[in-house]
Structure 1
């Protein structure tokens, strides 16, 4: 985690989810930082062999190096030891959300999260495609409920194509990732139990 000789801590972040849900476009959007893009502009193309995709940022007055991997990693992603996992689905494709629950959560529990201390974020992508009355759309209240059922630490959504909420998502991911370098760790506190 913490680098030698004052290097910033390196935090690996793994994006998991079905093909075509928008993981690569999300990472491509992140390379632009907070720079706006014109409506006709294309996002930079990322290549799988360039993984990890590295982001050097400053947060809480200290530098961090985030190394993002996705499931198209040129090496077997199950061999990675990420400090944060992001479960990604396509808001316009209900099957990709179901897959998080039936396939990807099992991958997390089997390969990465033995002691349940690894923070897991659920991320809805392609927010710009959400339409009322269209079959297969996933709305926030349902996704949040499923994220809670899966015991994810956070739920976020954005559109990498338009940039809507991408900055906020990156901030949430960065804060969670930075917390993994502390004694407390990046796992969110469970809500207190109350007896009624």
Structure 2
């Protein structure tokens, strides 16, 4: 069975939860539901490798993030995940002001690379802070304005919708190796 390599790049502000997310999913499919102990991965160990198989193909997903010891700008990603912290409005603003612009200026083929927006730290969404609360509709709306292909939210700490988010990321990654590619047709899809 031929193995297809897919490079996935996670971008976003510091401390939005990228390392915790990668550390949690590195424990495998059985650890995606509910709470579990998380041992943080080390940045020097990048790329973080995940092996997937379906009936027809095998995939090797290589995850890199902005703390990649080399220059992440020199990578040639097949899928980009722009991450923000649901409890920090500034990370949502920077996603739109900084990170999508970085994608388009760094990767000349930025229009063909599928982009997913990932809202992390869903467990920290607070109803008591009216200024800091970011509802899914708002994250989705910003994703649409950025012309992202997909929008997902999850919590790596509690496991809240983590399995669904990871499955959507894996499906999109696998689609990058198909003739149709991983980009959505005509707009952002909410998962």
TM-score by length of 2: 0.92
The match for 1:131 is: 126
Tell me which stretches of 4 or more aligned residues in structure 1 moved more than 6 Å. none
Q: Residues 129-160 of structure 1: CA distance to partner in whole angstroms, max 9, x if unpaired?
A: 01213131211011110000000000000000
Q: Residues 40-89 of structure 1: CA distance to partner in whole angstroms, max 9, x if unpaired?
A: x5212201111000000113532100000000000000000000000000
Cα separation, 2, equivalents of 1:122 and 1:113: 20
Q: 1:119 aligns with which of 108, 114, 121?
A: 114
Q: CA deviation at 1:114?
A: 2.8
Q: Select between 8-17 and 60-69 the one with higher mean Cα deviation.
A: 60-69
Q: Indicate if the aligned counterparts of 2:34 and 2:159 stay in contact, CA closer than 8 A.
A: no
Q: CA deviation at 1:34?
A: 2.6
The match for 1:34 is: 29
The match for 2:186 is: 190
The match for 2:174 is: 178
User: For the aligned residues, what is the CA RMSD?
Assistant: 1.5
Q: 2:105 aligns with which of 85, 110, 124?
A: 110
The match for 1:22 is: 17
Cα separation, 2, equivalents of 1:190 and 1:176: 15
User: How do 1:141-160 and structure 2 match up within 5 A?
Assistant: 141-160=137-156
Cα separation, 2, equivalents of 1:128 and 1:145: 20
Q: Secondary structure at the match of 1:122?
A: strand
Q: CA deviation at 1:182?
A: 1.1
Q: Which runs of 5+ in 2 are unaligned?
A: none
Cα separation, 2, equivalents of 1:60 and 1:103: 40
Change (3 A) 1:93 1:45: same
Q: Which runs of 5+ in 1 are unaligned?
A: 1-5, 192-196
Q: Secondary structure at the match of 1:155?
A: strand
Structure index of larger Rg: 1
